[in-house]
């Protein structure tokens, strides 16, 4: 396949908010020898047409982009303002330096409000100390579908307990992390997908995330060609989860790469 005819997805992180291994845990997953059981906090890079869009900036951003050779990204899209999705944002400084440009940061109004509170030194340019090496970020509110580098992105409105999260569809690829359901009107935006990445936290129910069975029910309804669970806990090893799943549903792992036809 010609690269210009596809989206390349690179998985930077696939773990829950505490990461796997968790601090101070010595369970069989946290001590597993399978590298797929070591999970950074969730993020993916979506590449097409020679450009790369980073979805979320988790705490391990620097380590993950170095490990995956992501020497440049051209825009950042944020799903929501929880710590496991935004606290690597400062690391876009290096991309600013390398490109000589500010970094577009696209997010909902509520997420942008959190960014303004969390990174005041990057926002308040008038008060900025020139001695502080700060990120140059250009905040853009997502109010509906938007275009990035010639492709339409469709926001998917997802409940995550009391928080509203944005999922995204571009082409036949969709990314829906951190959700406790997908409302009927939003499911209409997710028809005929080639690949769906969906929250699949753990085997047992959780108030703000989808369990394996809840995610499988949504996958059965939406019928993507392939689906992947993300935001996983340390409850089960990667190989044991995959053994329980139908063949077209797999589990994301850090460093995984795949193509989605455009």
Site for Zn ion in 232-261 (CB under 5 A): 234
Q: Which of 6, 43 has the CB closer to Zn ion?
A: 43
Structure tokens at 32: 């597993």
**Does 25 interact with Zn ion (rule: CB under 5 A)?**
yes
Asked if residue 39 binds Zn ion (CB under 5 A), the reply is no
- Indicate the residue among 6 and 230 with the shorter CB distance to Zn ion: 230
CA distance 242 to 229: 10
- Bridge partners of residue 13, in order along the sequence: 43
- Work out how close the CB of 82 gets to Zn ion at its nearest, in angstroms, rounded to a whole number: 4
Q: Which of 36, 82, 169, 202 binds Zn ion (CB under 5 A)?
A: 82
Contact status: 18 vs Zn ion (CB under 5 A): no
Query: From the CB of 59, what's the least distance to Zn ion, in Å?
Result: 11
Helices (H), the chain: 61-67, 83-86, 92-99, 109-118, 120-123, 184-187, 212-222, 238-244
- Of 2-10, 189-197, 229-237, 248-256, the segment contacting Zn ion by CB under 5 A is 229-237
234: nearest Cα among 12, 36, 10, 11:
36
Closer to Zn ion by CB, 54 or 74: give it. 54
SS3 label, residue 185: helix
CB 181, CB 157: distance < 8 Å? no
Q: Is residue 84 part of the contact set for Zn ion (CB under 5 A)? A: yes
Whole-number CA gyration radius for the chain: 18
**Which spans of this chain sit near Zn ion (rule: CB under 5 A)?**
17, 25, 27, 30, 82, 84, 178, 234
């Amino acid at each position: 396949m010609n690269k210009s005819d596809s989206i390349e997805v690179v998985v930077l992180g696939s773990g829950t908010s505490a990461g796997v291994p968790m601090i101070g845990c010595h369970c069989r997953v946290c001590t597993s020898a399978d590298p797929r059981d070591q999970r950074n906090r969730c993020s993916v890079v979506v590449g097409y047409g020679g450009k790369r869009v980073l979805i979320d900036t988790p705490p391990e951003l620097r380590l993950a982009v170095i490990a995956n050779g992501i020497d440049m990204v051209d825009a950042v899209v944020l799903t929501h303002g929880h710590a496991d999705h935004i606290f690597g944002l400062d690391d876009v400084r290096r991309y600013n330096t390398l490109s000589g440009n500010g970094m577009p940061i696209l997010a909902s109004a509520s997420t942008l409000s959190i960014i303004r509170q969390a990174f005041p030194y990057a926002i308040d340019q008038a008060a900025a100390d020139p001695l502080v090496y700060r990120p140059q970020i250009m905040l853009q509110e997502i109010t509906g579908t938007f275009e990035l580098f010639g492709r339409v992105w469709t926001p998917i409105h997802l409940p995550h307990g009391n928080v509203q999260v944005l999922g995204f569809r571009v082409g036949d690829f969709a990314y829906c992390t951190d959700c406790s359901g997908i409302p009927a009107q939003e499911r209409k935006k997710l028809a005929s997908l080639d690949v769906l990445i969906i929250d699949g936290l753990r085997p047992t129910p959780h108030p703000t995330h989808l369990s394996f069975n809840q995610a499988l029910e949504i996958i059965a309804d939406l019928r993507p060609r392939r689906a992947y669970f993300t935001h996983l806990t340390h409850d089960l090893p990667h190989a044991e989860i995959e053994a329980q799943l139908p063949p077209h549903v797999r589990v994301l792992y850090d460093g995984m790469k795949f193509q989605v036809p455009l």
